[in-house]
Amino acid sequence: MNSNHNTVRISCAYDGGNIQFRSTRPNELDSTITDVIVVVKQDEYTELEQIAHKQYFSFRSTVNDSITKCRYILDNASTTSYPEAWKDATVCYSSDLYDPDSWKRVLNTRYENGKLVWDMQHTGTMYFAYFPPFSYQRHLDLISKCQQKTTVLSLGQSLEGREIECVKVGTGERLAWIIHRQHPGETMAEFYAEGLLSRLLNLNDDDSTNDPVVKQVLEMYTFYIVPCMCPDGAVRGHLRTNAAGANLNREWATKHYYEAPTLERSPEVFWVLRHMDETGVDVFLDVHGDEEIPYNFLSGAEQTPAWGPRLQALHGAFGAAYERSNSDMQLEIGYPPPESPEQAAQYMNVATNQVSNRFNCLGMTLEMPFKDCWTNKNPERGWSPARSRQLGAGVLEAFVYVHPYLRDDTEFWTQLPLEDRYVEPTDDYRHLEETMPLYQFIQLNRRFYSDVHEIHKKETSGLDQGKKE
C-alpha cells in the first residue's frame, strides 16, 4: 500500500513487501521530527492454530524534502504473533533492497508502549525490514546456478503454481534431507541454504573444488536440499503461512479433525513428504529463524516415541561437531524440550518430530536469530545474511562427524567423547548477559516449536479479534 503524503511515501509494492501505511503527523515534542505511522499486515488466517499471524515487515520509505528526521512507529507491534520478541530487536535498513550485505541495524530501535519505534534521518529512498529480504528472483537465480552443477528436481507446485525445487547432490549411501524456509518470513533460512549450496557445488567458482570436507561429504551422502518450502508466502511477505494460511510446520501429519498434508491446503509438504517416502531419510535438518532468542541453536525430537539413547547421542554429537566448526553455534540456549511423551505427542505434526519417527532417524530443527547473535555480537549488522550463509556452509563438518553412527545398531554412544554429550537447552538466556540483572528475566510459558498458544496462552476472544483484524 502506498501513502499519499507529499513529504513521505511508504510502499511495499515489491516481492516480499509487507506494511500498511496509516498516517504522518508532526511529533508532539519535537517539531523537527515527522512521525510515520505504519502497521504490519497479517498472514492468511490459520485454521489449525486459529490465528492470523503477523510480525515480518519490509517496506520502502521515500522522503521528498528536507525533513530532519523521521520517527517510524510500528503501531500494532503489541498484537503481533510474538510481541515479547521486540525487546532487544533492531530494525534492518538499506538503500539497496537487493544487496543483502548492504543492510545494517537501526541501533536506536526500541519497544515502548506497545509500539516498535525507530528514528532515521534520510532523504530519498530507504528500505526497512525485520530481516533483509530474500526475493523470489534471488531464489530463481540460486536454482539456475545449482542446475548448472547438479540435478534440480521439481517435487511439485505450490498453491499459486510455483515449483518446489529440490537440489540433489552427492553419491553416498546415506540420505540427508535439508529443508529451509517453511516459515517464509524467516528469510535467514534461505540465506543459509545459499551458503550450504555454494560450498557443496562451488557456486562461486572460487577454487573450493579442492575442499576436502566437500569431497568427503559427497561420497558419504546423497543430499536432497529444498531451499524454499513456502515460495507463495515468501512473495506475499507472510511471516509463517502459505497462500491458504497453512503453517507448513504444522502440516506434516493429521491432528484430530485436521487432515494434513493435503494438496488443497499444503501441497508443499505433501510433495516433499511423498518424495521422502520414496527415497528414505537417514538424517533430517529443518532450517528456521526464531524471533525472540538471540542465539543459534538446535531442537530435536525429544520425548517422541523414537527418542532414546541413540537419537539423543546423535543429536549431541551433531551439535558438538557443529559448534566446533562454527563459533556462532551453541548448545545451552534453545527451546526447552517437552517434559513428557504426552506433551510431545501433541506436536507430531511438526516436521522434525514426524520425520524422526517416520524414518527412525536423527531429525533436527535449526533456529537462527532475527536479532543480534549474543554468541558473537555485532550490533551494527546483527545476525546477518552473510553469517547465515557461513553457518550453512559450516554444517558439513557435523554431517561428516555423525556419518558412521547414523545407522549403527550397537551402543556406540558409550564410546563417544564427553564433549559430544547431549545438552538439554533452556530459554533462560538473560543470565548470560553480564549487564542484565538476573531478576529482569521473565521466563515465557513452555515454548514448543514456537507455538503461539503455548507461549501466550491466549484467550479465545483474543484469537477471534486476531481473525477479524
118/152 same-domain check: no
Is 254 among the domain residues? Answer: yes
123/259 same-domain check: no
pLDDT at 205: 84
Whole-angstrom distance, CA of residue 350 vs CA of residue 247: 10
For 76-101, what is each residue's pLDDT tens digit? 999 999 999 999 999 999 999 999 99
pLDDT at 290: 98
Range of the structural domain that residue 347 is part of: 136-437
Is 295 a residue whose pLDDT tops 80? yes
Task: Note the pTM of the prediction, 2 decimals.
Answer: 0.93
pLDDT grade for 437, boundaries at 50, 70 and 90? very low
285/432 same-domain check: yes
Q: Which three cell numbers stand for residue 361?
A: 532417524
Identify the active-site residue in 367, 380, 419, 424. 367
Is 287 a residue whose pLDDT tops 60? yes
Is 454 among the domain residues? Answer: no
For strand 33-39 and strand 69-74, is the pairing parallel, antiparallel, or unpaired?
parallel
215/323 same-domain check: yes
Whole-angstrom distance, CA of residue 344 vs CA of residue 337: 8
Contact between 351 and 463 under an 8 Å Cβ cutoff? The reply is no
Whole-angstrom distance, CA of residue 380 vs CA of residue 372: 9
Whole-angstrom distance, CA of residue 322 vs CA of residue 393: 11
Active site residue 332: no
For 8-55, what is each residue's pLDDT tens digit? 999 999 999 999 999 999 999 998 899 999 999 999 999 999 999 999
Residue with cell 493429521: 254
The total of structural domains in the chain comes to 2
Is 452 among the domain residues? Answer: no
Burial 215-246, CB ≥16 within 10 A → b, else e: ebbbebbbbbbbbbbbbbbbbbbbbbbbbbbb
Is 188 among the domain residues? Answer: yes
**Domain at 75, CATH number:** 2.60.40.3120
Q: 399: part of which helix (H) or strand (E)?
A: helix 396-402
149/293 same-domain check: yes
Given phi > 0 = left and psi -120 to 50 = alpha, else beta, which region is 123? beta
33/177 same-domain check: no
Residue with cell 528414505: 280
